[in-house]
Structure 1
Amino acid sequence: MNLASHPVFVSLTPVFLLVGLGFMAGRLQWIREAALKDLSNLVFMVLIPALLFRTMSAVRFEQLDLRPMLAYFPSTLLLLGLCVWRHGATTRSVVLGLAATFSNMVMIGITLIELAYGKQGLVTLLTLVSVHALIQLSVGSIVLELIVAREARAQGGEARRLWATVGSVARGTLIHPIPLPIISGLLFAQTGWSLPGVVDKPLQLLGSAFGPIALVLVGVSLAATPLKGHWRAALEVVAAKNLLLPLMVAVGAWSVGVTGLPLTVVVVTAALPVGANVFLFAQRYQTAQELTTATMGLSTLAAPLTLSLVMGLMAWLN
């Protein structure tokens, strides 16, 4: 088969060309750092909700396959536990463990999965997206707060209230512009109604704008990411995120009987680069902030190679 017409090449190339364009725009200061927050708000508050609601508004509950969740999340939590066990129960090890397990499902994953596997693949991805942050960030919060409480007691200080923190994280991940439109769209679909054209068309146009703008923003952020001095430590986390996690998810999927397109989607999702939410934990707990930033950047730079490998292998197996 001609490389230019290979499905993996065809789906990956537009994604990373747009990321590269954003990187160049960031380096040349066409898009300045001061504008990133406003552009991110446009993506997360307007474009993503339109895309997610419209996609899920035509999906009935009986069409959903929840087995990919059983394949994906136990594997990610197992790897998180292995990272903490290997490096010791510290806030640093938990944050790096989250970096090794938290995929960039939204900014890169949505566009890539839709290009490569169509709407059916996107629905499988969105079932994961709907609870991704809630499960992984809540577990990460619990473990981090337990470690902080232990350290506070050891120093004779007063520990923060664990469940208040976890409750705040849970509320923030549910009342959020990503899971909320997914759930709302699903509930609307169960009514059997169709979106009127006067509503559907604007949602379609907004959703179409999401992919290119989001990918350009990834590149702009990458241009401002410092990698110097953190290559070796970051490389270990990137190897776990981009290569080991997809392997573990593949084994988990096989064990619960996930096959075909859902299997491909969950494995490719696991191979996506590190998601930005991990840095918020590094910042909140004031640990490994520069290393986390470098890991996110290196994971994204390595993604064209590692995703090509994983997607090519899944195409060959299926």
Structure 2
Amino acid sequence: MLSSVLSPLVPVVLCIALGFAIARIGWVRASAIADLSNIVFLVLTPALLFRTMGQTRVQELDFTPVALYFATAMLVFAATLLREGWSVAGAARALAHTFGNTVMIGVPFIGLVYGEQGLVALFTLISLHSLVLLTAATLVFELVQARAEQGQPGAVARSRGQTLWRAARNSVLHPVPLPILAGLVFAQTGLPLPGVLDQALALLGRAVGPTALLLVGVSLAYTRIGQNWRAALRIAAVKLLAMPLFLGALAWALGLSGGAIAVMLVTAALPVGANVLLFTQRYGAMQDEVSSAIAISTALALLTLPVMLALAQLLRG
């Protein structure tokens, strides 16, 4: 069992370590990270997402595991707000506790461990991941700001409905959910992809795993943790351990099992996603702490993921 848990993790570790090494010796500069990220997020990942979901019928999808994931995430989100208070810092930490790196690490890792069926379960989650979590965090941020602006002279009244609609729209019109939804719509037509296009998408899709993992290593090489390591470590502990353990306990209590449930548990154990940093930068709060949390959780995930994989094996039934 140990070899079955560790074997898919070895290529992940090697790719991340190689990316770290080539950055350290200067083959890839920090200024190139944004361009490499654009290749992964805007070209390679949409090709993989569209091709995979373009062969999947909606009636074949099981939304029970996704519902379990979001129930867990929203409970952790709410618990964080209760502990931290209704504030910008509380919203940022709540999002960091629940928003994982489902694309750059999740896609190659789940693909290695669970194959095509695992990816379908993951993509079903990803299609709603940003929409649900980023919209919830946006609403909290906007409500906090609206409360802070009350009573200030010259303050402009904002429509919370418009704010929520804009957040939901931007979460869908995004290079990750959009090709998933487009692929599902295409699949319902029953038409096959033209052979040349299918081969091109397959070629691009196969490049997602190694390129994304190399980029994780490069990013780690240029990340400075600094004085925020204690707070970042607390965030990492919640994201890597508390959230997946809570999901596993909830699945056990509800009598849920199977491959898709196992995928949800492993996905819940992924490190903090980069979108959390982009989100905090947008609102000008908690950037240093979140940046450190992304780096620390990514590094520690190499130690915690084998444990969560073993736990997930118990849920496969």
Give the aligned partner of residue 232 of structure 2: 234
Structure 1 residue 313 displacement after superposition = 2.0
Residue 306 of structure 2: aligned partner: 308
Task: Look up the match of 1:168.
Answer: 166
Correspondence 1:150 to 2:147: yes
Percent identity, aligned pairs only, is 48
Q: Which residue of 1 aligns with 2:245?
A: 247
SS for the counterpart of 1:167 is: helix
Is the 1:67–1:256 Cα contact (8 Å) retained in structure 2? no
Contact map agreement 2:239 2:272 (CA 8 A) in 1: yes
Q: What residue is the counterpart of 2:38 in the other structure?
A: 41
AA of the residue aligned to 1:171:
R
| Deviation readout 1:126-155 (Å, 9 max, x if unpaired) | 110000000000000001111111111165
Displacement of 1:62: 2.0
Q: What's the offset of the Cα at 1:230?
A: 1.4
Q: 2:63 matched to 1:85?
A: no
Q: What corresponds to 1:27 in structure 2?
A: 24
2:64 equivalent to 1:101: no
- Name the counterpart of 1:112: 109
Q: Tell me which moved more, 23-32 or 213-222.
A: 23-32
Of 308-317 and 177-186, the range deviating more from structure 2: 308-317
Report the counterpart of residue 267 of structure 1 in structure 2. 265
Do the aligned partners of 1:243 and 1:271 also contact (CA within 8 Å) in 2? yes
Distance 1:293 1:241 in 2: 14
Secondary structure of the residue aligned to 1:100 is: helix
Check the 8 A contact 1:31/1:220 in 2, yes or no.
Answer: yes
Provide the C-alpha distance between the structure 2 equivalents of 1:264 and 1:311, rounded to a whole number of angstroms. 8
SS in 1 for 2:26: coil
Q: Is the 8 A contact 1:72 1:266 kept in 2?
A: yes
Map Cα deviations across residues 242-294 of structure 1 (whole Å, 9 max, x no partner): 00000122233345553110111000000000000111221122211111100
Q: SS at 2:189's partner residue?
A: coil
TM-score by length of 1: 0.94
Shift of 1:42: 1.3
Task: Tell me how far 1:181 sits from its aligned partner.
Answer: 1.1
Q: Distance in 1 between matches of 2:186 and 2:247?
A: 31
Q: Contact 2:65 / 2:264 at 8 angstroms: preserved in 1?
A: yes
Question: 1:161 Cα shift?
Answer: 4.0
Structure 1 counterpart of 2:250, one-letter code:
G
Code of the residue aligned with 1:20 in structure 2: it is A
Partner of 1:291: 289
1:220 paired residue number: 218
Q: Which runs of 5+ in 1 are unaligned?
A: none
Give the CA deviation at 1:165.
3.1
Provide Cα deviations, 1:54-111, integer angstroms capped at 9, x if missing partner: 1111111221000012101121111111111111111011101110110110110011
Q: Partner letter of residue 30 of structure 1?
A: W
Instruction: List alignment gaps of at least 5 residues for structure 2.
Output: none
1:8 to 5, 9, 18: 5
Worse-matched range after superposition: 258-267 or 135-144: 258-267
**Partner AA of 1:132 in structure 2:** H
- Tell me how far apart the structure 2 counterparts of residues 143 and 197 of structure 1 sit (CA, whole Å): 46
Aligned to 1:103, what secondary structure does the other structure show? coil
Choose 243-252 or 154-163, whichever is displaced more: 154-163
Query: How far has the Cα of 1:316 moved from its partner?
Result: 4.4
Query: Which of 59, 62, 65 is residue 62 of structure 2 equivalent to?
Result: 65
Match of 1:138 among 132, 135, 154: 135
Amino acid at match of 1:95: A
| 1:264 partner SS | helix
Alpha-carbon distance in structure 2 between the residues aligned to 1:19 and 1:83? 30
Kindly indicate whether the alpha-carbon contact (under 8 Å) linking 1:71 and 1:256 is maintained by their aligned counterparts in 2. no
Report the counterpart of residue 51 of structure 1 in structure 2: 48
User: For residues 39 and 100 of structure 1, what CA distance do their matches in structure 2 show?
Assistant: 26
Alignment check: 8 A CA contact 2:258 2:315 kept: no
For this pair of structures, how many residues does the alignment match?
Answer: 315
Question: Secondary structure of 1:107's partner?
Answer: coil
